[in-house]
Amino acid sequence: MRDVPTTQMKVIEAIRNGLDVAMDLDPHLICYGLGIDDPKRIFGSTVGLAEKFGNGRVFDVPTSEAAMTGIAVGAALRGVRSVTVHQRLDFFFLAMDQLINNVAKWHFMFGGQRSVPIVIRLILGRGWGQGPTHSQSVHSWFAHIPGLKVVMPTNAADAKGLLLSAIFDPNPVLFLEHRWLHEAVSDVPSGDYRVPLGQARIVSEGGDVTIVAMSFLVPEAIRAAGLLARHGVGCNIIDLRTIRPLDWDTVSAGILKTGRLLALDSGLPICSVASEIVAFASERHFQSLKSAPRRLTMPDHPEPTSFGLTRGLHPSAESIADTVCEMLGLPHRFAPDPNAGPHDVPGAWFKGPF
């Protein structure tokens, strides 16, 4: 990080701060989405913006996800950047035509004459009975599509820095925030702080196994590394930060360094980012792999609602550590922390219902 003052902030505050900075920098930047100026302010991420920048630049919209996405394209063509927000990614399926046929392709299909610099914030749900239609993350879909950039921040500094880069990138960027990370605190540089898109972050530099992760799996991987360290196993953890374009150089270096790869994915398994990373590793680095590369993802079914069915649904520090031990032929297995709170909330701060 550069030599600028930092403040401890939650992810959600860092996003708010990033929006504030961006709206100051670009007098035409607009922010809109259902509830953006309501009492809850998108989990707090837009507090004060409507007051500061006015209803012309920060406004609530009808429940019309498809049109609101195409409208962002049109505004961008007229020189007006935007940050749209959807309180759950699950609602954004309504906008797939606009996303794929217009947002992702406008630059290409008109021969590069226009670009569509827009940011779409998609909030990912999990637990507290979010269930099949309030918990989905199809980042792997988005990673499939040329023309899109896809960001999945893990901590507050990255959330702000990636958001500012996304806003001022000439391309459309999907910004996937996990609800469970919203309250995670870290030092955040003030002002126009940017983290480049397309650069992964090396979280830890162990030598035994390379763990590639995104979003809420990065803190799980870090916890797993802690468990494994007690057994002398060193983890090389890569936080992808950007899912597309993916930082293949950093991933390659990690694979070459340890010869062992575990790809984590916060979404469904089949045709996932984890699949892509494992495929890349075996296609490009076959000779350097010391053991079969592995994946750990959510299971191949929707998230059920019941508290009784969601325990162990997603990869956790323990399942990650177990898998690493399997890969290394070590006997250790890790039991869940008996003092952990209920498995379906990110922490005591989460009170439901949404």
Partner 1 sequence: MNTQLPNDPSLRLVREMLRIRMVEEAIAREYPKGEMRCPTHLSVGQEAVAVGTAAALERTDPAVSTHRAHAHYLAKGGDLKRLLAELFGKEAGCARGRGGSMHLIDLDVGFEGSTAIVGSTLPVGVGLALGIRVRAEAAVACIFLGDGAMEEGVFYESANFAVVRKLPALFICENNSYSVYSPLTKRQPHGRQIHDVVRALGLTTAAHDGNDVFGVAAAVKTAVQAIRDGGSPVFLEFSTYRHLEHCGPYPDDNLGYRPEKDVAAWKARDPIVQAQERLRDHPGFSGEVIERWRSEIAAEIDGAFAFARTAPWPDPSTRAEYVYA
Ligand X SMILES: Cc1ncc(C[n+]2csc(CCOP(=O)(O)OP(=O)(O)O)c2C)c(N)n1
For the bound state, the minimum distance from the C-beta of residue 76 to partner 1, rounded and expressed in Å, comes to: 7
Distances (CA, A) of 342 to 128, 135, 160, 351: 10, 17, 29, 12
Structure tokens at 350: 């989460």
Catalytic residue among 13, 65, 183, 220: 65
Q: What Cα–Cα distance (Å) separates residue 330 from each residue in 110, 237, 256?
A: 55, 19, 21
Nearer to partner 1, 5 or 308 (CB): 308
List the one residue out of 248, 265, 33 whose CA is nearest residue 141: 265
d(CA 233, CA 220): 16
CA separation for the pair 151, 138 (Å, rounded)? 12
65 is catalytic: yes
**Any contact of residue 170 with a second copy (CB under 8 A)?**
no
Contact between 152 and 205 (Cβ < 8 Å): no
Closer CB to ligand X, 65 or 247, in the complex: 65
Which of 86, 107, 134, 139 is the catalytic position? 134
**Does residue 229 belong to the site contacting a second copy (CB under 8 A)?**
no
Calpha distance 119→255 (Å, rounded): 32
Our finding on whether 268 is near a second copy (CB under 8 A) is yes
User: Contacting partner 1 (CB under 8 A), which of 13, 220, 239, 344?
Assistant: 344
Beta bridge mates, 189 = 6
Q: 223 touches which of ligand X, a second copy, partner 1, none (CB within 5 to 8 A by kind)?
A: none
Q: Are 148 and 170 in contact (CB under 8 A)?
A: no
Minimum distance between the CB of residue 92 and ligand X, rounded to whole angstroms?
8
CA-CA distance, 240 to 354, in Å (whole number)?
27
Count Cβ atoms below 10 Å from residue 322 Cβ, excluding itself: 21
Q: Are strands 58-59 and 201-205 parallel, antiparallel or unpaired?
A: unpaired
Nearer to a second copy, 143 or 167 (CB): 143
The whole-angstrom separation of Cα 251 and Cα 238 is: 7
Which residues from 135-164 bind partner 1, rule CB under 8 A?
A: 146-147, 149
Out of 61, 75, 80, 145, name the contact with a second copy by CB under 8 A: 145
- Interacting residues with a second copy between 65 and 94 (CB under 8 A): 66, 90, 93-94
Pick from 2, 287, 300, 349: which binds partner 1 (CB under 8 A)?
300
Nearer to partner 1 by Cβ, of 347 and 352: the residue is 352
CA proximity to 266, closest of 318, 206, 220: 220
**Alpha-carbon span 320 to 211, nearest angstrom:** 9
Binding-residue total with a second copy (CB under 8 A): 53
Residue 185 neighbours by CB under 8 Å, 6+ apart = 8, 9, 10, 156
- Does position 262 interact with a second copy (CB under 8 A)? The reply is no
Q: Select from 71, 75, 80, 96 the one that contacts a second copy (CB under 8 A).
A: 96
301 catalytic residue (yes or no) = no
The least distance separating ligand X from the CB of residue 95, rounded to whole angstroms, comes to 9
CB-based closest residue to ligand X? 91
Q: In the bound complex, what is the minimum distance in angstroms from residue 134's beta carbon to ligand X?
A: 8
What CA–CA distances, in Å, run from 283 to 190, 249, 252, 287, 316?
42, 14, 11, 9, 28
Minimum distance from residue 201 beta carbon to a second copy (Å): 21
Contact code string over 72-111 relative to partner 1, x by CB under 8 A: xxxxxxxxx---------xx-xx--xx--xx---xxxxxx
Q: Does 66 bind partner 1 (CB under 8 A)?
A: yes
Number of residues that bind partner 1 (CB under 8 A): 80
Q: Under the rule (CB under 8 A), what is the footprint of a second copy? A: 66, 90, 93-94, 96-97, 99-101, 104-105, 108-109, 131-133, 136, 138, 140-141, 143-147, 244, 246, 268, 270-276, 278-279, 281-284, 286-287, 289, 291-295, 300-302, 304
Catalytic residue set:
65, 134
